[in-house]
């Protein structure tokens, strides 16, 4: 591995310190390695996500140095090493603020929003310009199975086609699922109704996999890593958090200060939670992810029966 790093980074000396940490020409760098079926796509997607987040100068994330293949099928991301501390709960409010800043960070979109508002035709103006798009420059992976990030003009289409349907089709292909096949057309119609209110939403850069295991803190600030980004509705970010118990009131307080939640988020959150349960079902097979997915579909289709 050291030889491959030396060659990829054009370095004189490479010393392995611990898991992921190398000292390259006397500078600490962090190297993540992947040898799975889609290793190259995974590393390129994660690197593009880190670069996009980094460019916003909002929430801190590692700066990418290089993506390289160290041996056949073994792909790596070399990035800045960030010295992180154990304790992070006290930084949750700051993390909420930083994530809201990330979600509000698309400068050209913000500028266009102002111009469109000034012209009095907010949604129409965006559409005419053809610049209001959801998706990402490359596929990204929340796990090890790449997500379809093809550009779509509106969030409704992107979420239903590239998130929900893509996972459902793959589950049916891999495991077979009569329940999913038979409920898809109802679910698609209901999702379309629920997401109608998002038509004026501008695309926000999201981390895409921000659960408790994918952030840490330095002495000064929260850090996020392991992203699978896309330009999405910022509400989508909460899906994976809700799956693992959420970040709690401090995070929400920090977030809402910068970007208050929109009307109707409560109804839409089950859809985003469903996506992550379907993604876990696809990765790990049925069991509890299947049961939760089916129960969420039931709640989405029958909101009057199941409400919390």
Ligand X SMILES: Nc1ncnc2c1ncn2[C@@H]1O[C@H](COP(=O)(O)OP(=O)(O)OP(=O)(O)O)[C@@H](O)[C@H]1O
Q: Catalytic positions, please?
A: 209
Identify residues 222-251 at the interface with ligand X (CB under 6 A). Answer: 225-226
- Stretches 68-76, 85-93, 184-192, 213-221: which one binds ligand X (CB under 6 A)? 213-221
Q: Of the candidates 96, 135, 208, 216, which one interacts with ligand X according to CB under 6 A?
A: 216
Binding ligand X (rule: CB under 6 A), the pick from 1, 84, 137, 200 is 84
For residues 225 and 275, which CB has a smaller minimum distance to ligand X in the complex? 225
Q: Which stretch binds ligand X (CB under 6 A): 77-85, 155-163, 172-180, 233-241?
A: 77-85
CA atoms within 13 A on the CB side of 57: 1
Least separation in angstroms between residue 84's CB and ligand X is 6
Segment 5 to 44, residues that bind ligand X, using CB under 6 A: 20, 30, 32
**Candidates 174-182, 200-208, 211-219, 290-298; binding stretch for ligand X (CB under 6 A):** 211-219
Stretch that binds ligand X, among 124-132, 212-220, 254-262, 285-293 (CB under 6 A): 212-220
Q: How far apart are CA 217 and CA 223, in angstroms?
A: 5
Number of residues that bind ligand X (CB under 6 A): 14
* Min CB(62)–ligand X separation in Å: 3
Task: Closer to ligand X by CB, 80 or 197: give it.
Answer: 80
The one among 82, 137, 258, 301 contacting ligand X by CB under 6 A: 82
**Least gap, CB of 286 to ligand X (angstroms):** 22
Kindly tell me which of 44 and 154 has the beta carbon lying closer to ligand X: 44
Residue 253 CB, nearest distance to ligand X (Å)? 25
With contact defined as beta carbons under 8 Å apart, do 250 and 222 qualify? no
Q: Which two tokens stand for residue 52?
A: 């996009």
Name the residue nearer to ligand X (CB basis): 56 or 214. Answer: 214
What residues between 93 and 132 interact with ligand X by CB under 6 A?
none
Stretch that binds ligand X, among 78-86, 197-205, 238-246, 247-255 (CB under 6 A): 78-86
**What DSSP string runs through the chain?**
-HHHHHHHHT-S-EEEEETTEEEETTEEEEEEEE-STTHHHHHHHHHHHHHHHHHTTSSB-PPEEEEEEEETTEEEEEEE----BS--GGGHHHHHHHHHHHHT--HHHHHHHHHHHHHT-HHHHHHHHT---BB-SS-B-SSSSPBP---BSSHHHIIIIIIIIHHHHHHHHHH--HHHHHHHHHHHHHHHHHTGGGTTPPPEEE-S--SGGGEEE-SSSEEE-S---EEE-GGGGHHHHHHTT--HHHHHHHHHHHSPPPTTHHHHHHHHHHHHHHHHHHHH-SHHHHHHHHHHHHHHH-TTTS--
| Between 214 and 299, CB nearer to ligand X | 214
212 binds ligand X (CB under 6 A): no
- Determine which residue in the list 22, 75, 81, 251 makes contact with ligand X, applying CB under 6 A: 81
Residue 240: which of 305, 104, 147 has the closest Cα?
147
Torsion of CA 120, 124, 125, 128, to 10 degrees: -160
Query: By CB under 6 A, is residue 62 in contact with ligand X?
Result: yes
Contact 31, 20 (CB under 8 A): yes
Q: Which residues are near ligand X by CB under 6 A?
A: 20, 30, 32, 62, 79-82, 84, 213-214, 216, 225-226
């Amino acid at each position: 591995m050291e030889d491959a790093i030396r060659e990829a980074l054009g370095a004189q000396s490479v010393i392995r310190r611990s898991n992921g940490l190398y000292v390259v020409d006397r500078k600490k760098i962090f190297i993540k390695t992947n040898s799975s079926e889609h290793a190259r796509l995974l590393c390129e997607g994660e690197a593009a996500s880190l670069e996009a987040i980094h460019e916003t100068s909002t929430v801190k994330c590692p700066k990418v140095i290089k993506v390289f293949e160290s041996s056949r099928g073994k792909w790596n991301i070399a990035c800045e090493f960030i010295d992180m501390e154990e304790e992070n709960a006290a930084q949750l409010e700051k993390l909420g603020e930083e994530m809201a800043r990330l979600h509000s960070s698309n400068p050209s979109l913000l500028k266009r929003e102002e111009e469109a508002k000034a012209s009095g035709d907010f949604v129409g103006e965006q559409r005419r310009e053809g610049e209001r798009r959801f998706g990402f420059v490359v596929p990204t992976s929340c796990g090890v199975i790449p997500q379809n990030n093809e550009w779509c003009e509106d969030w409704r289409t992107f979420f239903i086609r590239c998130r929900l349907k893509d996972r459902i089709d793959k589950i049916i292909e891999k495991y077979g699922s009569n329940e999913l096949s038979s409920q898809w057309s109802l679910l698609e119609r209901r999702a379309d109704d629920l997401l109608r209110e998002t038509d004026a939403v501008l695309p926000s850069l999201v981390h895409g996999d921000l659960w408790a295991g994918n952030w840490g803190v330095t002495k000064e600030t929260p850090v996020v890593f392991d992203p699978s980004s896309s330009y999405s509705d910022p509400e989508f970010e909460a899906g994976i958090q809700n799956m693992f118990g959420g970040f709690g009131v401090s995070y929400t307080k920090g977030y809402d200060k910068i970007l208050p939640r929109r009307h109707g988020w409560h109804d839409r959150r089950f859809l985003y939670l469903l996506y992550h349960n379907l993604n876990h079902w696809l990765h790990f097979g049925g069991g509890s992810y299947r049961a939760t997915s089916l129960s969420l579909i039931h709640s989405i289709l029958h909101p009057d029966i199941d409400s919390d």
